[in-house]
Amino acid sequence: MRLGKIVATLYCGAVLSLQSYAIFSTTSYNNWYWPFVNYPMYSSSFHAGESFLRVELRAVPCDSPGDVFRLTEDDLHLKWRHFIMLVHKSATVRRADLDTELQPGSEPTTEALLHFIATYVPRHVCRVQVWRQRYTIGPGGLELPGQPWEIAQEWVLTLPGSGGVSVDTTGHKP
Amino acid sequence: MSSLQRRLVGHWFAPAPILNLAVVRLVLVSMELICLLVPFIAWKVGACNGCSVGYQMILTRIDPSDYLPLPALKVLMLPFGPWGIRPEPMFLRAVWLLAVVTGVTSLLGLYTRLSLSALAATTTLLTAHSYSYGEYHHPEALLTIALWTLVLCPSGSALSLDSMQTRLHIATYGKRFVPLRTVSRESEMAGWPLRLIQWCLALAYFSAGISKLINGGLAWFNGYTLARMIGEDAVERGSALGVWFATQIPLLIVLAMLTVAIELTFFLGVLFPILTPLYVFLGTGMHVGIYVLQRAPFPQLVALYVVFIETFRRQFGAFFQRGRPAPRWAAIYDELCPRCRRTMVFLDSMDWRKRLTFIESEGQWPHASAAAPSRIPDRSPQTLFVIGPDGTIYRDFFGFRKLTGLLPPLWPLWPVLHCPGFRRLGPWIYRLLSDDSAGHVCPAELTGRRVVSGDVPV
């Protein structure tokens, strides 16, 4: 029993020390030594007047252009963060300057996104669109968007005879 | 030993019921198994992405340049290749399967320590792998620590096949049956795991609270912070209630203050048992609220509240016991028959509602006959008598049939054994099964029975 208590004491000391280190060494995310992590999620503060964008990725099938469907991270076999990063990067470029031209560095993102669509979406897709809707935190809290969804980015895809997918147009202005 | 040392030892190593530890094992392993076996909860709800084998397969298709293995994964993969090796899809499938199998054996308490070790290792590997691509979430961390902790303590000493096997061994070779309620079920090694998990919970909440104060400052309590966070998640994940809440600034100010207060002071619930139910209630409400409003799931943390079981048992156990004083039944068995003793071990382990008293016919015959005012008809060896609270005697098959209504694990048999025709068929099957175990029949000469004649009550 005495040996058991010594082992238990050492184990408890080690666990609590590692957990404390993960927590008290920084207030930003500290996940490297998982499962010993800190919990700073939702710790930023915001103010009235700030806004956020809701972004969706939608696809227009070639055989039925009216039958637009939403694409999620599951459809593209992606991790949520990876998917959000790919989609938001396109949308953010558009949000920042409302320019139709892609900024340097976003082309690989687009290619990656379209690659996943070509690989995992079973229907033939002729156009891929990033839609967005802006929400504002007003004096009374969340304000429902006065403006409808708008296209932030659109790509027109062409299907060559070989079955591959190429991007015909990038940065299409809606 | 100084006063502080005594208090520390008392806090961590005070004798505690091993039953609590077993209940914690059952709850936490069940939680892990649900995550492993229900992809909807693991992946779609997001309680444990890494527990879904489908999600693991997606991870294996991610570009190798995005693979950033966590140290925990590197250590666990070390026996299978060089430092930092990336697990193959087939390997991950095998690990998931092993996690499920060892989860079931951990739940049953079969080779408990070995099973728990394998379960902890496999689930750690799966989750660590899911976090080795730059995306991190928090629900699984404390449950993982808790599973490893259960490996080191006697969590399989009760409510397990291991403990039943030990009792069967004693009943067979130790030549005695000891009912559970008559033995001490406390151990100095049963309390510290629960204490450790309690403190880990308190530290995690404190981390969340202090981060809000440092990173967000007082502006975190302005109502707009929660409006933005709840609103964004609610809009993205489709929570109508969350969208409504995001428009209630005064309510959100109160909610923000309450949240940080709970997180910063949760440790008081560990230090002062009188406050424990309050903090468990508030913590559960907080997690349910977060899920309802933001669809952010933390079911593992709610499951971990089971480590406060002892406080709840002490504060509310008497209240529940006082509510229903159940009438007692008696099972009279042949102490000199190993098979009968083993049967009693099974019955005792299924007597969750404490409805049975066990009386051995050889040494406690006066007690046994007194239990039945109508008198037991004979004292045949290897006969099971079940005596109701009103003194009615049920023998062999009919005794067993009565037990199916008393012992919860046997409840499914109750309607079957009460089907028409079983009154005749049942005794025949009972005899057949008894004869099937003829190898275990205990003739008087083998068990040292005193052959009694003439004093058998009729």
Nearest C-alpha neighbor of B456 from the set B389, B375, B340: B375
The total number of residues shown for chain A amounts to 174
Strand order in the sheet with B385-387: B356-360, B329-333, B385-387, B393-395
Residue A38 has pLDDT above 60, yes or no: yes
For the CA atoms of B363, B364, B368, B371, the dihedral, rounded to the nearest 10 degrees, stands at 180
* Residue A93: per-residue pLDDT: 41
The pLDDT value given to residue B182: 65
Q: Out of A36, A40, A142, whose CB is closest to B247?
A: A142
pLDDT the model gives residue B152: 92
Which residue's structure tokens are 């009188």? Answer: B274
Cross-chain Cβ contact B232/A135 below 8 Å: yes
How far apart, in whole angstroms, are the C-alpha atoms of residue A8 and residue B232?
A: 44
Q: How many angstroms separate the CA atoms of B72 and B78, rounded?
A: 10
Residue B387 has phi, psi (to 5 degrees) of -115, 125
Given a cut of 70, whether residue A172 has pLDDT beyond it is no
Contact yes or no for A43 and B215 at CB 8 A = yes
CB contact under 8 A, A40 and B229: no
Tell me how far CA of residue B65 lies from CA of A166, B60, B61, in angstroms: 24, 12, 11
Q: Is B140 on the interface with A (CB under 8 A)?
A: yes
Interface test with A, best of B11, B12, B224 (most A CBs within 10 A): B224
Of A147 and A101, more confident:
A147
A135 touches chain B (CB under 8 A): yes
Q: 3-state secondary structure string, A103-114?
A: CCCCHHHHHHHH
Q: Are residues A37 and A30 in contact, defined by beta-carbon separation less than 8 angstroms?
A: yes
For chain A, say whether B246 makes contact (Cβ under 8 Å).
yes
Torsional class of B191: left (φ above 0), alpha (ψ -120 to 50), beta (otherwise): alpha
Q: Which residues contact A116 (CB under 8 A, 6 or more apart)?
A: A76, A77, A78, A86
Q: Measure Cα distances from A69 to A57, A60, A111 in Å.
A: 9, 7, 20
What pTM, to 2 d.p., does this model score?
0.82
Spatial separation of the C-alpha atoms in residues B37 and B338, rounded to whole Å:
40
C-beta separation of A53 from A132 below 8 A: yes
**How far away is chain B from the Cα of A15, in angstroms, using its nearest Cα?**
8
Query: What is the residue-level pLDDT of chain B in tens, covering all 458 positions?
Result: 688 888 888 889 988 888 899 999 999 999 999 999 998 888 777 888 889 898 888 888 887 888 899 999 999 999 998 998 999 999 999 999 999 999 999 999 999 999 999 999 999 999 999 999 888 888 899 999 999 999 999 888 888 899 888 888 888 887 778 777 666 678 888 899 999 999 999 999 999 999 999 999 999 999 999 999 999 889 888 888 999 999 999 999 999 999 999 999 999 999 999 999 999 999 999 999 999 998 888 899 999 999 999 888 888 877 766 555 667 888 888 777 778 888 888 888 888 878 888 887 766 666 666 665 555 555 566 677 888 887 788 888 888 888 888 888 889 988 888 888 888 888 888 888 776 444 444 444 344 433 333 333 32
* B286-291, Cβ contacts within 8 angstroms, sequence gap of 24 or more: B286/B259, B286/B262, B289/B255
Q: Tens digits of per-residue pLDDT, B233-272?
A: 898 888 889 999 999 999 999 999 999 999 999 999 999 9
Question: Which residue from B354, B309, B18, B16 is spatially nearest to B158, judged by alpha carbons?
Answer: B18
ipTM value: 0.82
Higher-confidence residue: A158 or B419?
B419
Residue A151 CB neighbour total at 10 angstroms: 16
pLDDT confidence of A37, banded at 50, 70, 90? very high
Q: Do A15 and B149 touch (CB under 8 A)?
A: yes
Please give the distance of CA B387 from its chain centroid, rounded to a whole number: 32
Q: Could you report the per-residue pLDDT of B144-195, keeping only the tens digit for each?
A: 999 999 999 988 888 889 988 888 888 888 777 877 766 667 888 889 999 9
- For residue B321, count CB atoms less than 10 angstroms from its CB and return exposed for 0-12, middle for 13-18, buried for 19 or more: exposed
**Tokens representing B18?**
């091993």
Question: On the CB side of A20, how many CA atoms lie within 13 Å of its CA?
Answer: 8
Between chains, do B135 and A40 touch, taking CB under 8 Å as contact? no
Q: Is the Cβ–Cβ distance between B189 and A1 less than 8 Å?
A: yes
Q: Round to whole Å and give the CA distance between A128 and A10.
A: 57
Pairing state between β A150-158 and A125-138: antiparallel
Compute the distance between CA of residue B210 and CA of residue B260 in angstroms, rounded to an integer: 8
State residue A106's pLDDT score.
Answer: 53
- Kindly report the number of other CB atoms within 10 A of residue B2's CB atom: 7
Report the 10 Å Cβ neighbour count for B185.
17
DSSP string, B158-192: SSSHHHHHHHHHHHHHS-----GGGS--EETTSSH
* Residues B70 and B131: beta-carbon distance below 8 Å: yes
Q: Which of A44, A55, A80, A132 is best to mutate for the B interface (most B CBs within 10 A)?
A: A44
Determine, for residues A39 and B220 on separate chains, whether the beta-carbon distance falls below 8 Å. no
How far from chain centre, in Å, is Cα B280? 18
With CB atoms and an 8 Å threshold, state whether B215 touches A7: no
Question: A66-117: per-residue pLDDT in tens?
Answer: 888 888 887 887 777 778 777 877 665 443 333 334 444 455 667 777 778 8
- Note whether B228 contacts A: Cβ–Cβ < 8 A: yes
Q: Does B238 touch chain A (CB under 8 A)?
A: no
Helix (H, G, I), strand (E, B) or coil at A156: strand
